[in-house]
Amino acid sequence: MPHPKDLGLVRRVIAADREAFDALFVRLFGRVLAYARRRVGDDGRARSVVEATLREVFEALPSYDGTEPIEARAFVIARRRTAEVAGKAGPRPSPLGHAALAPAEDARP
């Protein structure tokens, strides 16, 4: 299904319409940030994901054809970026901490 509203907004951004740029940025920023925070668990790393994601989205706008919502494109990129960041950081710590990994006192043979 074509998304003419998104296509119109993107065309305005490409034409250097500052209001269109701001509208698209605001529309994507909060949702991508919330997603990245859930995926990487750290605000600083999440903000890095958002920065890289939005940069890639905006750089690719000339190829946007309106066949999908612009958010769909943003979340495909964000998913890849969060996987890259999560992989570099290693596994997330257990919410139980290291104590949950220690053997129980009464578990000795």
Type of residue at 4: P
Examine residue 95 and state whether it is found in any structural domain, yes or no: no
For residue 103, the model assigns a pLDDT of: 53
Q: Which residue has the tokens 């919502």?
A: 69
Examine residue 60 and state whether it is found in any structural domain, yes or no: yes
For residue 89, the model assigns a pLDDT of: 54
Give the distance, in angstroms, between the CA of residue 22 and the centroid of all CA atoms in the same chain: 18
The number of domains in the chain is: 1
Examine residue 106 and state whether it is found in any structural domain, yes or no: no
Q: pLDDT tens digit string along 32-77?
A: 999 999 999 889 999 999 999 999 999 999 999 999 999 999 999 9
For residue 3, the model assigns a pLDDT of: 83
Q: Are 64 and 73 in contact (CB under 8 A)?
A: yes
Q: CATH code at 20?
A: 1.10.1740.10
Domain that holds residue 49: 4-87
Cα gap 98→7, rounded to integer Å? 50
DSSP 95: T
| DSSP character string of 9-67 | HHHHHHTT-HHHHHHHHHHHHHHHHHHHHHHH--HHHHHHHHHHHHHHHHHTGGG--SS
Q: pLDDT tens digit string along 81-96?
A: 999 987 765 555 555 5
The pTM score is 0.74
